[in-house]
Amino acid sequence: MPRWRPTTPAQGGARYGTSRPAAIRTCSWNSSPWNSHRLTSSALQSTTPSTGSCTADRRFHLSALIRHIPGRDGRRLPVLVLGALALGLAASWRLFAYVGISLPYLPSEPLPPGVQDSVILRDMDHPVALAIDAQGRIFYTEKDAGRVRLIANGHLQPQAMITVPVRTVGEAGLIGITFDPDYTLNHYMYIYHTSPDPLENRIVRFEEIDGVGLNPTIVYTFPHQAREWDMHLGGNLHFGPDGKLYVTVGDDAVPNRAQDLGSPHGKIHRFNATVPLSPPPDNPFYSTPGAVQSIWSLGLRNSFDFDFDPLTGRLWASENGPTRDDEINLLVPGGNYGWPVCIGPCDPPDPRYIDPKWGWTPVIAPTAVKFYSASQIPRWRNQLFMCSFLDRQLRHLILDAGRQNIIQEVIVEGVPCTLDMEVGPDGAIYYIEGGGWSNGTLHRLWSASVSIAKSNDPYGAVQPGERITYTISYANTGSEPLTGVVITDTVPSGTLLDPASVYPTATVVADLIYWPLPTLMPGASQQVGFSVLLPSPTAPPVETPPPPSMARRPASFVDTPTPVASCPANAQVCNLAWIYTDQTGRWQPSNPAFNPSERYYMPLVLRSP
């Protein structure tokens, strides 16, 4: 008789296992036995063999796993995973099959009200990881090119900030990037990459000065074994709330290394940010004979990313399973998470190993893990999110009151987060769609919580030598204080800016005016403005009749359309398009918000009074 035993829900979900011999009359395999095969249930009954070695009446041993996730009763049917090993065949002939009894159903949620998804940059060259500094500048890694790129003021810097040599086979390349906790003072950044010569995985520190990476220093290396397809390298790194540098290192495709304290592979490490990196004396295995002193947690196949709970400081990490049981784990110092002894929750339970908090079968390839700790999207504050490589989804993982267990998984609709995500100083969420082995797209999730309107005086005909005054009014229409707001506007073509008229204090670069604004409380409103002079022409102006539908229009020059405003990618305030209304004689916003780095235009014509 089969044996059935559930694990406790607190260990990540009820899970049942059974195995029994079964006779299969005929079977069908359509590709290499080392690949995965997806079969229908009828394939277990009567099919026609398509390749040799699998014959009628051959006896198989079937191992079945039925996984039930708590919090989804009535919403998700079981998924049955069958692993078939042909008895009596050569030991090298191993057949793996997935048989889906039903497709999993997951609850979903739309973006919170007012939150929009904007594209910042397309055709990124094989991006993997993001880092965003306090100024809102966006740094990202290019896996195969070995470059760190910089986006500043909404524009991609033409030259790479730094370039390192990389091995690009399989998962190898330039992976992680992070800032030193004292970055604003020392300008230190850290990257993780695979060096081709000598062959090793490196952590490199460099200084960022005016958008250029200087003084690269190799601060730590991990051994790496070359293969036809390099995999399980880990490669992400972040500083924790304790000021220590945490690093993921995969098992280098040698599973047993994950249980070997003398090997750095299959672990998460914790370092002091010294040169070279050094293990803190309070690390769990610092005094263990023969152990790598930097080990923080072990028994991990290939944790890709991790983040720290802003309320508890606990570390949550994604983990990639083989053909089943992708995981997310709550990591503790000295914790052993079972790989390769246990895949998913241990069955039967083993007190030596810690079960995952949540899991996925079939696999989804979990990647980025991030707590949203900003205030621009209040509904998501301090909530846990995760991206996935295979199905390109953003998952909202809801924690229990004690913030030690996941009680529900919800798909955020229409957000194709694939590899990494970060929260910017503006409170927006930036994420990569695609990337890794392909080009990618950078997105920004942001809340349109600012209203803005612009007027000009006079709004009728303007004579040469006269002054035009522009006033921009803005207000915080949200429920949270806004910081890091920048308003920009453009001096109309053919006019002369009066520098003394610009208020409040602003930065003027060529024809652009930048106003960095103080914190704006909910419900508060302010104004900025400037004046320009219409210079005397060398010839009389030519009458340009207005369109029949408009009796009066603001005056400017017959020229290319004049951009009224623009917005860098790191700002929360983005300008609006404008329409003219005969009733008020004013330009008013025609849409509630627009995307970073876009410009809208106010077409104006000159006519005689």
Residue 475 confidence (pLDDT): 84
pLDDT exceeds 80 at position 426? yes
* Residue 76 to residues 351, 396, 481, Cα–Cα distance (Å): 30, 17, 40
Residue 397 confidence (pLDDT): 98
Mean pLDDT to the nearest integer, 239-266: 97
Mean pLDDT to the nearest integer, 277-294: 98
d(CA 436, CA 112): 29
Residue 57, burial from CB neighbour count under 10 angstroms (0-12, 13-18, 19+): exposed
d(CA 383, CA 397): 8
Among 232, 244, 228, 343, which Cα is nearest to 286's?
244
DSSP SS3 for 173: coil
Residue 534 confidence (pLDDT): 86
Token pair 């930097």: residue: 294
d(CA 488, CA 511): 10
Among 174, 193, 140, which Cα is nearest to 442's?
140
Q: For the segment 241-252, what is each residue's pLDDT rounded down to a tens digit?
A: 999 999 999 999
pLDDT exceeds 50 at position 210? yes
Largest CA distance in the chain: 101
d(CA 65, CA 80): 6
Better-scored residue on pLDDT, 459 or 243? 243
Under 8 Å CB-to-CB from 112, ≥6 apart: which residues?
377, 379, 380, 447
Determine contact, residues 379/398, Cβ cutoff 8 Å: no
Q: Kindly give the residue spans of alpha helices, DSSP state H, lying in 76-234.
A: 183-186
Q: For the segment 536-574, what is each residue's pLDDT rounded down to a tens digit?
A: 765 444 343 443 333 333 333 232 333 333 334 443 333
Under 8 Å CB-to-CB from 272, ≥6 apart: which residues?
244, 245, 278, 279, 280
Determine contact, residues 79/33, Cβ cutoff 8 Å: no
Residue 565, beta-bridge partner list? 600
The residue extents of the domains of the chain are 9-99, 108-447, 450-602
Determine contact, residues 492/556, Cβ cutoff 8 Å: yes
Predicted structure pTM score: 0.64
CA angle 69, 71, 76 (to 5 degrees): 55
Token reading at 427? 């409170």
Q: Give the type of residue at 478.
A: G
d(CA 436, CA 607): 56
pLDDT exceeds 70 at position 423? yes
- CATH (residue range 108-447): 2.120.10.30
Token reading at 514? 């930048």
Residue 537 confidence (pLDDT): 64
- CATH (residue range 450-602): 2.60.40
Better-scored residue on pLDDT, 52 or 240? 240
d(CA 346, CA 354): 8
Q: Give the type of residue at 541.
A: P
Better-scored residue on pLDDT, 591 or 511? 511
Determine contact, residues 550/582, Cβ cutoff 8 Å: yes
